[in-house]
Every structure is written in structure tokens, then in C-alpha cells.
Amino acid sequence: MFESKGGVLLIGGLGFFALALVSNALVPVQMYRDLPEQRTEELVNANLMYQFEDLSRRFPESFEKYYGKPTREQAAEALALGRRVYVAEGCWHCHSQYVRPVSNESRRWGAVSATWEYQNELQRPVMFGTRRVGPDLSREGGRRSNDWHAAHFFDPGSVSEGSPMPPYRWFFDGSAQRPNRRGLAIMAYVQWLGSWLESYPYYEAYQPLPRLEDAP
Amino acid sequence: MTHTAWAEATGSDRDLVDRRLVAWYFVAALVYLGFSLLGGLLMALQLVRANPLQGIELLSPGRWRMIHTNAVAYGFLANSFLGALHWAIPRLTLRPVLSRWFSWFIFAAWQVVVLATAGGILLGHAQGLEWGETPTWIDPLALAGLLLVAVNFLAPITAARGPLYVSSWYFMAAFVWTLLTYAMGNFLPEYFVPGTSGGAIAGLFIHDLVGLFVTPLGWGLMYYFVPILLKKPIWSHGLSLVGFWGLAFFYPLNGIHHFLYTPIPMFLQYGAVIATVAVELVVATVLVNFFGTVWGAGRLALANLPLRWFYTGMVLYFITCFQCALQVTLTFQAVIHFTDWVVGHAHLVMFGVFSMWIFGIMTHLFPRLLDRPWYSNRLAEWHFWASTVGIVVMFTDLGLAGMFQGYYWAALLPWEASVDGSYPFWLVRLLAGLVIIFGQLCFVVNLVATWRNRGHV
């Protein structure tokens, strides 16, 4: 059996793979089957609408051109596009979207991530992330203004000194004051992150330690 | 050595092996390796804020990082493995693959898949899954390609009579696993399963791609080439059995260890941790087996360049697995998850182990494919030493960087402290990467010179 073709193909190839799929994938699927998956339209909340309207006031020409009026439908569309941009540009290779219950992360970023936060269309596949060159973004929404984000996407170093993040000029029509369709969408998406929580916007609940060279 | 002497020394397998196809697979693999190295270089330059090509959409480091990983997995490793399998399987089973025409069709189709993947990623159609970035419209095509590969190679293996050699077990299982893994990872979390449970499947996919596609093909080829080069059988058949079945059982259960401390149910996380430690024990038996095989012939393993590639890769494999047994624990994860430690680990596995084995196989096979010896042994040595020194420096450096980053974060220092603190490590990583690139350039120069050396040997 252990050296036969049938054994290798059926037990090793199919059997053990199926065992792992059932125990490691279908079990959590069953456990969470009562948590409904939210569609993008259901994810548009008051916090996101506030930010979306703010975008329409700060960048009136661009907003008018690409989205018209800041309606809920437009917000849902921007959210979906923003998530596509987030994936396509590989943002998730340098930013995570989950706060772990260890390493003081809940003090830095707020509530530890819970399953229900991920039960929506924009988490297909889930954006846990893989590396943190930049900080976690799951509670980033609302912490900074849309102006800040526009300047940051256009030239990260201008507002975040020494940042290794590359500039995303193709989110703009030439200048930081003129974000294009994708630029407005990615800003709406980032402002949405964490907007479903009571603590929105979350600011660090700690005083950063003084940097070593500043210490007496 | 003369032409005829080479032909005699390389055996009479002209009806079995399509040498041109093997050579073409290897050349394609090296081309993609070049693109992958460029992507890595671009990202390394970006991190030390010295990227000269900023602000160009098609040269975005974020997109090229995906080219970097996908070109290694589907361009370099897959093509090299397919080439090596076209050599190993017909010779092992004494039967040709299903069809020569079919093999060339698969070769062309696979290049289309790889190039379309790269094009799709560059144009912004990536999916949000590591190593599954392949745009959705290519996935069915890639899956069909993998099915054809399986059919083409399973034909000679299943037709062979008598007991199966170890390599065949690994190859057979790998064809089934690769197909299933690809289907699982590229369709389930994308279309059917959202959120956390989709994350569990994504974990399985990331892990199985290394464990059930790259690892079994790599070990299968080692079980084939090492005894041939050492001219002695594998030390213990019993350990071969333990190694294969241990890997088959425990490896697929590891996936969730990529997402420890996520909302994925904790008992599943514990399960993945335990299964991972079990895999490391299994790996130890495989390594014991291979070092038992080389026992008494150590001098040959040092003097013979392909064997040196193989055994250096195995030493690094041991380090990788030892690293893995530690880093998979929740204690380690709290510090090193999301840091450069993980990046170092990934480079050690993909370059330090499997690429090394592939370079060994290529170093061994190209003279046989082209019927002439290497143009320069010195360049071949430079290839080996630059690659070895480069990867050892890189993974040590990134491992250290990871621990610094992890503790910076836990200490609640401002985020910039972790970026500033990483800078010197990123600089060393850039240099190590350049050394690796230099090594590969030596190989390519050597290969081109060998290829053009037609006629005067």
C-alpha cells in the first residue's frame, strides 16, 4: 500500500489533502456560517459618508468629474474600487489589516480584530496582510484628514519624513490637489477602515516613549 | 573530452528524453529568474529610498514585488522543475512521456500563463492572495495547464511495471497536490468563502504551494540525482518511506500557522503549530537519510559541483526547518510575525534550498544537454560561492532585522523608529542581493559561452 501507485495517489495525494481541507478549512466555514456576509452597499456607514462628503468638498472639481454627487451608491462604488486599487498596488504586502492580541498592538491600534469584521465582500480574499513595513491599517480610518492622505499618496516623504513608501502619482491628475477616480477611491477605502467600530477614529492611547537620543 | 566521448558518457536515452525541450525549459526559467531578481532589486532600492524609477505606474515597486514572487514560483521554479522532470521521469521509468508534441504544447502554454500573469499584475489585475495574485481570468487556463502536465507525466509512471522508486512517489503525489492546491487557493477564497475562514484557506494555499508543489518535486529530484552522482543507493529505504508519508500527512495540516493570533479559531491554530513541529521531525529523518547516503563520500560531495549545490541546499534546508520549528510557536510569533524575519525565511527556502538544487541540476545537465563541457569551471564556482555567500548574509541580516523590528513595535516606540532602525539591515540586504545577482550573471555568461562553444571542445 505505501509503495503502490494507488496508495500514493489516493491516500497520499487525495486522502490527506482532503483531510486537511476538511479539518482546516471547512471547520471554520461551518463555525461562522451564522455570520452573514455583508455586501458592499451594506458597508456604507455614516462615518464613511462623512468622509466621502468631505472629499467632495475638498476636491470639488475632481469629485464632480469622477463621482458627481456624494451619494451612498457612489460611496459604495468608490469603496469597491478603492479595495481593488489596494489589492492591485500590493498595499497589502506592506500593510496588515489585523490587530493581534499580543505585542501591545491593542494599545497602538485599538480593539483586537474579530471575525465579524471580516465577513464582507471586501474581504475576498481576506486582507490580513503579510508584512508591516508600514503600520497596520485596520483602524486607520478617520485618524488623518483627506488632505493628509492626498499629500501622502502623492509624495509620502512630504508628510512622513523618511518614509520608504513609494509615491502613487497615478492616483492624481498632475497634482496632489487633483486626485483622480482611483485616488478618491483609495482615500475613501482607507477612511472606511475601522469605521464600523465604536472607537472610530482611534487615536493611540499611549504616550510614545521619548526617542533614545532625546533622553537625558 | 571529445564530442563522442560526451555522448557515450551520457548514455543512450535519445529516444526517451527530448533534450531540446529540457534545455528550453531551463532557458525560460533563467529568463524569469532575471525578471524576478530585477523585481527584488527594485523593492530593495525602494526600501533604502534609492529607487531611481519612482512615480512610474508600470514600474511600481508594489507591483514588481508581486512579479518577484510569482516569477520565482511559476516562472523559475515551475519551468526548471518541468525541465528536470522531462529528463528524470523518462529515464526513471524507461518510458517516454505521453507525447512529444503534447510536451511542446504544454511548454508554450505554460509560458503564456506566466507571461499573462506578469502582464496582468503589471496592469493592475492582481488578486489579493499571496502567490495567488494570478489575475482571475488566467486561473482556469493555469489549472488546465497543470492538468495537462499531470497527464503527460503520469502516463509513463503509471505504465511502469514493478516497484516504484521513491522519486516516483513524490512526483505522482506532487502532480495531484499541485492541481488541488491551485484550484483550492485561487477559487475558494475568491468566489466562495469570505473573511476569516477564507483566510484559513489562503493559509493552506500559501503553505501547500511550498509544501505540496515545490517540496515534493525538489525532494523527488534529489532522490533521483544524488544516488546517481554518488554512484551509491539511498542509505535507508525505511527512512525514505517515513519521509514521504510523514510529509504527505503532516504538511497539508500546517496552513493556518501563517495566520496565528488572527480570529481563526484558536484550536485550529494550535493544531497547525503541532503539525508543523511534526513536519520538522519528519524532515530530520529525510536529512539523516541523505547524510547517511553521502557518509564516506564527503570528499566527492565537496569536489563535485552539482553535489555541492545539493548538499549546501540540504544544510540550508535544515536551517530553514529548524527556524520554522521555532518561529511557528506562539511565543516567537508574537515578536517576529509581520517582520523581515519572515522575509528572510522565505528567501532561505526559495533561493537557499530549491533554487540551489535547481542550479545543481542545471550544472549537471547542461553539459549533457548540449554535448559539451562547461566553458569555464571558474565561472561555475563563482556562481556557487556568490549565491551561497549572498543568501547566507541575506537571511542572517533579515532575521536580525526582524527581531529588532518586533521589539521596536512591542516597546511602543513611534512607528518611524522601526523604519529608521531597519535602514542598516535593508542596506546590507541590498548588498547581499547584488552579490546574488552577480552570481547568477556568472552563470548566464558561462551558459552563453558554453552554448556558443559549438565545434571546438
Tell me which chain B residues have a C-beta less than 8 angstroms from the C-beta of A119: 194-196
CATH class of the domain defined by A40-192:
mainly alpha
Measured between beta carbons, the chain B residues lying within 8 angstroms of A160 are 416
From the list A102, A125, A130, which residue is nearest B198 (CB)? A125
| Banded model confidence at residue B6, pLDDT cuts 50, 70, 90 | very low
> Residue ranges of chain A with pLDDT lower than 50?
none
Strand locations in B172-255 (E): none
Q: Name the pLDDT band for B4 (thresholds 50, 70, 90).
A: very low
Using the structure block, give the residue that is written with the C-alpha cell 559561452: B449
- Three-class SS of residue B288? helix
H or E element in which residue B22 lies:
helix B19-47
Of A125, A131, A208, the CB nearest to B338: A131
Domain regions of chain A by residue span = 1-31, 40-192
**Nearest residue, CB atoms, B164 vs list A3, A19, A94:** A3
User: Residue B255: pLDDT above 70?
Assistant: yes
Rounded distance between C-alpha atoms, residue B369 and residue B17, angstroms? 10
- Locate cell 491554530: which residue? B269
B125: nearest CA partner in chain A: A88
Tell me the nearest-neighbour CA distance from A80 into chain B, angstroms.
Answer: 13
Average pLDDT over residues B118-123: 96
| pLDDT of B7 | 46
Instruction: Please name the member of B164, B200, B416 whose beta carbon is closest to the beta carbon of A162.
Output: B416
Residue A118 · residue A126 · CB < 8 Å: yes
What whole-number distance in Å separates Cα of residue B315 and Cα of residue B362? 19
How long is chain A? 216
Query: b/e per residue, A41-58, with b = 16+ CB within 10 A?
Result: eebbeebbbebbebbbeb
A167's grid cell: 509615491
Q: How far apart are CA B287 and CA B276, in angstroms?
A: 17
Q: What is the CA radius of gyration of chain B?
A: 22
Is residue B216 within 8 Å of residue B170, measured between CB atoms? Answer: yes
Least CB–CB distance from B410: residue in A27, A104, A131: A104
CB contact under 8 A, B195 and A113: no
pLDDT the model gives residue A215: 56
Partner-chain contact A93 B65, CB within 8 Å: yes
Does A170 sit within 8 Å of B197, measured CB to CB?
no
Sequence-separated (6 or more) residues with CB below 8 Å from residue B451? B370
Nearest to B209 by CA among B179, B189, B188: B179
Q: Dihedral sign, CA of A61, A186, A87, A44?
A: negative
Residue partners of B418: CB distance under 8 A and separation at least 6: B404, B405, B408, B409
pLDDT at B66: 96
Nearest residue on chain B to A32, judged by CA atoms? Answer: B197
- Calculate mean pLDDT across residues B325-354: 96
The pTM of this model reads 0.94
Residue B352 in this model has a pLDDT that exceeds 90: yes
Cα separation, A6 vs A13, in Å, equals 10
pLDDT for B362-380, tens place per residue? 999 999 999 999 999 999 9
d(CA B231, CA A67) in angstroms, rounded, equals 71
One-letter amino acid at B156 equals P
The pLDDT value given to residue B91: 94
Q: Which residues of B touch A123 (CB under 8 A)?
A: 194-195, 198
Alpha-carbon gap: A56 to the closest alpha carbon of chain B (Å): 25
The answer on pLDDT for B414 being more than 80 is yes
Round to whole Å and give the CA distance between B180 and B173: 11
Separation CA A173–CA B288 (nearest Å): 61
Q: Which residues of A touch B417 (CB under 8 A)?
A: 211
Determine contact, residues B334/B402, Cβ cutoff 8 Å.
no
Hey, are the CB atoms on B57 and A170 less than 8 Å from each other? yes
Residue B313 neighbours by CB distance under 10 Å: 24
